[in-house]
Amino acid sequence: MTSLSTIQYQDIRQLAAARTPGHGLVSRFYGDPIVHQADLETIWFHGWLFVGHSCQLKTPGDYLTLQVDSEPVVVIRNDDGRLGAFSNICRHRGTILCNDTSGHAGRLVCPYHQWTYDRGGQLVSCRGMDDDLDTSTLGLHRFAVEETGGLVFVSLAATPPPFDVAAQHIGPAATPQGLERARVAATVDYRLRANWKIVWENNRECFHCNANHPQYILANFDHYNTDDTSPQIQAAIDAATQRSQHKWAASGLEVTHTRTGMATFPAPGPDGWVAVNRTPLVDGYLSETMNGQQVAPLMGDYADPDVGTLRMRTMPNFWNHSSCDHSVSTRLLPDGPHHTRIQVTWLVDESAEADRDYQLEDIMPFWQLTSEQDWAICENVQRGVTSRHYSPGPLSTAKEYNVDAL
Amino acid sequence: MTSLSTIQYQDIRQLAAARTPGHGLVSRFYGDPIVHQADLETIWFHGWLFVGHSCQLKTPGDYLTLQVDSEPVVVIRNDDGRLGAFSNICRHRGTILCNDTSGHAGRLVCPYHQWTYDRGGQLVSCRGMDDDLDTSTLGLHRFAVEETGGLVFVSLAATPPPFDVAAQHIGPAATPQGLERARVAATVDYRLRANWKIVWENNRECFHCNANHPQYILANFDHYNTDDTSPQIQAAIDAATQRSQHKWAASGLEVTHTRTGMATFPAPGPDGWVAVNRTPLVDGYLSETMNGQQVAPLMGDYADPDVGTLRMRTMPNFWNHSSCDHSVSTRLLPDGPHHTRIQVTWLVDESAEADRDYQLEDIMPFWQLTSEQDWAICENVQRGVTSRHYSPGPLSTAKEYNVDAL
Amino acid sequence: MTSLSTIQYQDIRQLAAARTPGHGLVSRFYGDPIVHQADLETIWFHGWLFVGHSCQLKTPGDYLTLQVDSEPVVVIRNDDGRLGAFSNICRHRGTILCNDTSGHAGRLVCPYHQWTYDRGGQLVSCRGMDDDLDTSTLGLHRFAVEETGGLVFVSLAATPPPFDVAAQHIGPAATPQGLERARVAATVDYRLRANWKIVWENNRECFHCNANHPQYILANFDHYNTDDTSPQIQAAIDAATQRSQHKWAASGLEVTHTRTGMATFPAPGPDGWVAVNRTPLVDGYLSETMNGQQVAPLMGDYADPDVGTLRMRTMPNFWNHSSCDHSVSTRLLPDGPHHTRIQVTWLVDESAEADRDYQLEDIMPFWQLTSEQDWAICENVQRGVTSRHYSPGPLSTAKEYNVDAL
Ligand code: FES
Ligand code: FES
Ligand code: FES
């Protein structure tokens, strides 16, 4: 893939500028290879991408791999306990170094001719090469990597944007959830026939929730919006807010989303790629499970199951929904203009043991059903927006403010 | 997909103009994406396309969907008994409205946020949208739709060509066949690895019939051409013609194809996209079935099985072969430059009941075998014409006059 | 496919010229459609391509087909015992003539309208065409074809390069192996997700052998290179060389590869597309089999199993490894920029009968395992070199001299 020309960039900027205010994007944003190239260069190969969880990379040598469109990446725990992120290809002839999605490696040994890199990416052995070879210039291509609150992020940019906004917001909010002391209970992978922007547009409004998410709306208030919140519902929200504020104050938790509707996104900071909030659940719901009951041991610092739900999102590829007893992370990765790879991961406390302390069939359905309902919609939208008779319609200011902002 | 530039059109016109008279088309017509784009703009998004049968859309709310390359279309019976045809995508954010190939709907409700359209395509409900939204401009994009003789056609053009030529020719000829009073007995779907023009070039000559269609040639005369019609065969044709003319006159049917060879195409009118004819079958054949016998109740107005065969074709996507007791419709739709989706539908009289009045294994094999023999050839041709050593050969004036005309 | 423009050629020449000496090729050589087009025009549609074995085309009318990217080719034994090679498409409307990969045909009859070509490619029958048709200009498009030492080659060029270099080198060396008097014991087909150049770069160095080919390195010396050949190993090679030279002199065989390392490629002649050598195997190995034992009757003129291994290669699509008792040919064919079709064929003496004289499980594993180990690596490399962070690394002058030459 070569870079875009100035003319191609101009063309895309004009296209974006021509959007009717308060309306969706035109067809080309959902399938055109040139627009996709621009998405990669300005968003995916620039910003901070969620990789996985610190608890998946506990011991030096633990690694995770991911493929950001054309780019293979490996993230590995270094001997000093810090993370390194590298282009997952050998500096000799370009072979993929780590083929598995996760693993543990003393050193990274290329399967082709056994060039060997240490956990810091330095080339430490290349038997058979000429003696005068300057191996110091042949370390793995390095990417920026950061972790905060048990979440690991990488940036493929030469000069990554500041990470502090994430550290400031995610760190404190996520600490009581104890993601560093969690472990993965289950992972499900999807490959959607939909452009990644359709997945986000779907995620960022709950206008579609009533008809599509029968489970979700029983547990949550945020599908109500300014236009359909009856006094009775507002009273229930206020009661839940006050009850929670009072109770949570004792344990240092905070209600940060007290209005109806979804938290506005982007939320904090000038860059606005991070959003975190904690919200009470509907009375009777202690966890986002099918019946609202707690189904696994409490995570992190929680001493009482009544902690509402913690929600975190980072653009362009991550969201998480945490309950008192389990946490669900969703990771998006583009795979060409027409496909998105999605990984959904369920975490529980590290001490929890399957079958003894929890059942997968108790912790998974709530978000698995809700996610798959969304994936079906997204594929359906993709088929429509590539028609020549598609013209972007108006967005609801009450219910789709986030889609507009995106 | 954007539209073609003036230069690209010029290029294609030059290519077409450069065809050696009496020879086939060059490679680029069978796979080049620019030529395909031109095909779509000048043919598929312009002319009248066969959708299905009136009997599949009997009751208000019955609908059929189809995909014309990139374009999703829905055709629905309106409350006043007329048909409406619409772009099958929501005016809000572009979701496909009807996902099934056929069905019945009180109103068209978008599965995403429940924008609701009446059967006339008007937006009648969009709860949650801003109050000042002008819904009158947000009806479904409307296409022209027509029906005649039990067949339904749609045009995706802003200004469709006249439909009268179809009404004039198909209406009277098809009425005795009773397609309005028929029902679908079976449907088979195919996706061919062949450009749609190869399918037509195959359909429009019977030069290949002797070697490829052992069933077809037993029942029909039209594989004989000016060059291989012996006096004996001509006598048989004349006898069949006279016998039929005499007999059919009583019931108002007409022999319209009395020569050897396939009816010349295009047949009637200045636009020439419609052809209809009725031809006697070979002696001993009452129906296009494996043994020539009638295998289902008589259709339409027929009182006697000896009605020959009624053939109808409309460019670019329809042909039908009707016998006294069943009728077979073939619908083509392009799916990119290298693929064609084909649907073959068998109809019987609406009163006929499977297993009681007919067996599928009696009515299907004649045309299913003949069709699949053609599909195999077409895929074979596609592989050859995209070679750089393909050069269009001469066509037979005796046997391939229709291919030349196409 | 149209031809490349002058500008596109210039662009590719600049890209090739910009290669850092002693380093690999940049990304675009492994996936860019324009580079692939240039590969086709300058290499695949120009040079001599291995088709198959003379013993597969024994009797007049025997044919083999192959697909060189977009180009279907048929090679058939003529009535005078010579071979003819033709574009495998009908001159009428472009249908593929022979659909099977091999067969026997009295004449080549097109399945569509039965135009019939004799074994020399002349159109001899086209019933139904106009009488004044000049059939002499409608013979099959002819390609150059040659055979030497039991191997059949075709060139798709209008003016093929000289073939003598192959005749000079392959002929004499291959004759004692008796490939003309062989027969095919087994064939395995592969479709690799890798550009054809990656397959060659893998083939042309044994730097990767130690770690990847546990079977191969037990039988062969050539994975040792100037840098890792201990005095002890060199002594073993010298002993094997002397022993073999002495013994083989009696039967007219010659040791032609006496050094450590793989034979340099290109080897003979100014054109350098052919390489042939005979090398001793490691002591205790009489055949390239899992345990080194002879497992089938001796081939050709051999009277003693101790004949080492005969290796032949022709660029761009053939290599062969022959032991005393069996011979293994590998044929590459490009299939777009990202895929390579590979056929591996095992041959035994024509008198040998399966199960009686040999077992497939004895003759196949050595090269099947080694080949499939290579295919896995190649697909792995393809994924890496298309990353934007791939930069070609240095090649080992001791171990990768052949990759550099390529
Ligand atoms: S490609 Fe990695 S060691 Fe050669
Ligand atoms: S996309 Fe149809 S209602 Fe929103
Ligand atoms: S295409 Fe071969 S005979 Fe017509």
- C39-81 pLDDT, tens digit per residue, is 999 999 999 999 999 999 999 999 999 999 999 999 999 999 9
Residue C270 clears pLDDT 80, i.e. is over it: no
**Ligand 2 centroid to residue B351 C-alpha, Å:** 41
Name the residue of chain B whose CA is nearest to C88's CA.
Answer: B384
Judged by average pLDDT, the poorest of A194-208, B222-236, B273-287, C360-374 is B222-236
Chain B: closest CA distance from residue A391 (Å): 7
Which is more confident, C88 or A220? C88
Q: Is B113 in the pocket of ligand 2 (CB under 6 A)?
A: yes
Supply the pLDDT for residue C105. 96
* Mean pLDDT, rounded, of chain B: 89
The ligand 1 atom at the shortest distance from the C-alpha of residue C381 is 1
Judged by average pLDDT, the poorest of B224-228, C19-23, C274-278 is B224-228
Q: For residues B361 and C99, what is the distance between their CA atoms, to the nearest angstrom?
A: 30
Average pLDDT over residues B229-254: 83
pLDDT category at A3 given cuts 50, 70, 90 is: low
Q: For residues A207 and B128, what is the distance between their CA atoms, to the nearest angstrom?
A: 7
Q: For residues A191 and C209, what is the distance between their CA atoms, to the nearest angstrom?
A: 36
pLDDT category at B15 given cuts 50, 70, 90 is: confident
Chain A: closest CA distance from residue B127 (Å): 9
Q: For residues C106 and A155, what is the distance between their CA atoms, to the nearest angstrom?
A: 66
Supply the pLDDT for residue C257. 66
Pair of tokens at residue A392: 């972007």
Cα distances (Å, whole numbers) of residue A141 to A121, C18, C380 = 8, 22, 18
Nearest CA to ligand 1 atom 4: A113
Residue A364 clears pLDDT 80, i.e. is over it: yes
Name the residue of chain A whose CA is nearest to C393's CA.
Answer: A92
pLDDT category at A256 given cuts 50, 70, 90 is: confident
pLDDT category at B304 given cuts 50, 70, 90 is: very high
Supply the pLDDT for residue B270. 43
Distance of CA B375 to the CA centre of its chain: 15
Buried b (16+ CB within 10 A) or exposed e, B343-374: bbbbbbbeebeeeeebeeebbbebbbebbebb
pLDDT tens profile C165-212? 898 889 888 889 999 999 999 999 999 999 999 999 898 888 898 888
pLDDT tens profile C322-338? 999 999 999 999 999 99
Q: Is A111 in the pocket of ligand 1 (CB under 6 A)?
A: no
% of chain A beyond a pLDDT of 90: 60
Considering only CA atoms, give the Rg of chain A: 22
Supply the pLDDT for residue A327. 98
Yes or no: say if B342 and B332 are a contact pair by the CB < 8 Å rule: yes
**Ligand 3 centroid to residue B385 C-alpha, Å:** 11
Residue A1 clears pLDDT 50, i.e. is over it: no
Supply the pLDDT for residue B257. 66
Q: Is B86 in the pocket of ligand 2 (CB under 6 A)?
A: no
Phi, psi of C374 (to 5 degrees): -65, -40
Supply the pLDDT for residue B91. 94
> Who among B45, B94, B112 is closest to A390 (CB)?
B94
Cβ distance C72 to B212 less than 8 Å, yes or no, reads no
Residue B265 clears pLDDT 50, i.e. is over it: no
Q: What one-character-per-residue DSSP string does C103-172 give? A: EE-SSEE-TTT--EE-TTS-EEE-TTS-TT--GGG-SPPEEEEEEETTEEEEE-SSSPPP-HHHHHHHHH
Write out the residue limits of the CATH 2.102.10.10 domain(s) in chain A.
Answer: 55-159
pLDDT tens profile B120-161? 999 999 887 777 888 889 999 999 999 999 999 999 999 999
pLDDT category at A268 given cuts 50, 70, 90 is: very low
Cβ distance C112 to B377 less than 8 Å, yes or no, reads yes
pLDDT tens profile C126-152? 887 777 888 889 999 999 999 999 999
Supply the pLDDT for residue A252. 78
pLDDT category at B205 given cuts 50, 70, 90 is: confident
Ligand at shortest distance from the CA of C212:
1
Sign of the CA dihedral running B220, B224, B225, B230: negative
pLDDT category at A13 given cuts 50, 70, 90 is: confident
Chain A: closest CA distance from residue C201 (Å): 10
Short-list A90, A72, A83, A150, CA closest to A119: A83
Pair of tokens at residue B166: 């179809």
pLDDT tens profile A24-66? 788 888 988 888 999 999 899 999 999 999 999 999 999 999 9
Supply the pLDDT for residue A257. 66
Supply the pLDDT for residue C233. 85
Which is more confident, A146 or A14? A146
Which is more confident, C405 or A289? A289
Pairs of CB atoms within 8 A across A/B: 84
- Helix locations, B164-230, DSSP H: 164-174, 196-203, 209-212, 216-219
Query: Best of C74, C115, C130 to mutate for ligand 3, by most ligand atoms within 8 A of CB?
Result: C115
**Ligand 3 centroid to residue C109 C-alpha, Å:** 9
Yes or no: say if B88 and B97 are a contact pair by the CB < 8 Å rule: yes
pLDDT tens profile B71-108? 999 999 999 999 999 999 999 999 999 999 999 999 99
Residue B242 clears pLDDT 90, i.e. is over it: no
Chain B: closest CA distance from residue A224 (Å): 10
Yes or no: say if C138 and B236 are a contact pair by the CB < 8 Å rule: no
Chain B residues touching C87 at Cβ < 8 A? 387, 389-390
Cβ distance B93 to A24 less than 8 Å, yes or no, reads yes
This prediction's pTM? 0.89
A167-405, superfamily in CATH? Naphthalene 1,2-dioxygenase Alpha Subunit; Chain A, domain 1 (3.90.380.10)
Cα distances (Å, whole numbers) of residue B365 to B286, B326, B373, C111 = 16, 12, 12, 22
pLDDT tens profile B344-366? 999 999 999 999 999 999 999 99
Please return the burial class of A215, using the count of CB atoms within 10 Å of its CB with bins 0-12, 13-18 and 19+.
middle
Chain C: closest CA distance from residue B391 (Å): 7
pLDDT category at C14 given cuts 50, 70, 90 is: confident
Chain C residues touching B397 at Cβ < 8 A? 130
| CATH architecture type of domain A55-159 | 3-layer Sandwich (2.102)
**Ligand 2 centroid to residue C241 C-alpha, Å:** 79
Residue C394 clears pLDDT 90, i.e. is over it: no
The ligand 1 atom at the shortest distance from the C-alpha of residue A94 is 1
Chains in contact with chain B (at least 3 beta-carbon pairs closer than 8 A): A, C
% of chain B beyond a pLDDT of 70: 93
Q: Is B394 in the pocket of ligand 2 (CB under 6 A)?
A: no
Which is more confident, B402 or A51? A51
pLDDT category at A269 given cuts 50, 70, 90 is: very low
Judged by average pLDDT, the poorest of A355-364, A369-378, B3-12, B78-87 is B3-12
List residues of chain B with CB under 8 Å from any CB of chain A: 1-2, 45, 70-72, 87-96, 99, 111-114, 127-130, 133, 138, 141
List residues of chain A with CB under 8 Å from any CB of chain B: 24, 28, 201, 207-208, 210-212, 225, 227-228, 377, 380-381, 383-394, 396-399
**Ligand 1 centroid to residue C49 C-alpha, Å:** 30
Ligand at shortest distance from the CA of C207:
1
**Residues near C309 by beta carbon (within 8 Å), at least 6 away in sequence:** C219, C220, C278, C279, C281, C288, C321, C322, C323
Pair of tokens at residue A307: 């902690």
Q: For residues C71 and C341, what is the distance between their CA atoms, to the nearest angstrom?
A: 13
Nearest CA to ligand 1 atom 1: A93
Cβ distance C128 to B399 less than 8 Å, yes or no, reads yes
Phi, psi of B387 (to 5 degrees): -75, 150
**Ligand 1 centroid to residue C332 C-alpha, Å:** 23
Q: For residues C367 and C319, what is the distance between their CA atoms, to the nearest angstrom?
A: 12
* Residue whose tokens read 């010396």: C221
Chain A: closest CA distance from residue B320 (Å): 29
Average pLDDT over residues A278-302: 94
Q: Look up the ipTM and state it.
A: 0.85
Supply the pLDDT for residue C264. 55
Chain C residues touching A130 at Cβ < 8 A? 394, 396-398
CA max distance for chain A: 80
**Ligand 3 centroid to residue B35 C-alpha, Å:** 24
Backbone dihedral region of B214: left (phi > 0), alpha (psi from -120 to 50 degrees) or beta?
A: alpha
* Mean pLDDT, rounded, of chain C: 89
Residue B268 clears pLDDT 50, i.e. is over it: no
Cβ distance C91 to B391 less than 8 Å, yes or no, reads yes
Q: Is A343 in the pocket of ligand 1 (CB under 6 A)?
A: no
Supply the pLDDT for residue B76. 98
Residue B342 clears pLDDT 70, i.e. is over it: yes
Average pLDDT over residues A86-109: 95
% of chain A beyond a pLDDT of 70: 93
**Residues near B309 by beta carbon (within 8 Å), at least 6 away in sequence:** B219, B220, B278, B279, B281, B288, B321, B322, B323
**Ligand 2 centroid to residue A331 C-alpha, Å:** 25
Highest mean pLDDT among B247-256, C8-17, C18-27, C291-300: C291-300
Q: What type of residue sits at position B366?
A: F
pLDDT tens profile A160-188? 999 998 988 898 888 899 999 999 999 99
Supply the pLDDT for residue B267. 44
Judged by average pLDDT, the poorest of A9-13, A73-77, B190-194, B316-320 is A9-13
Which is more confident, C261 or C37? C37
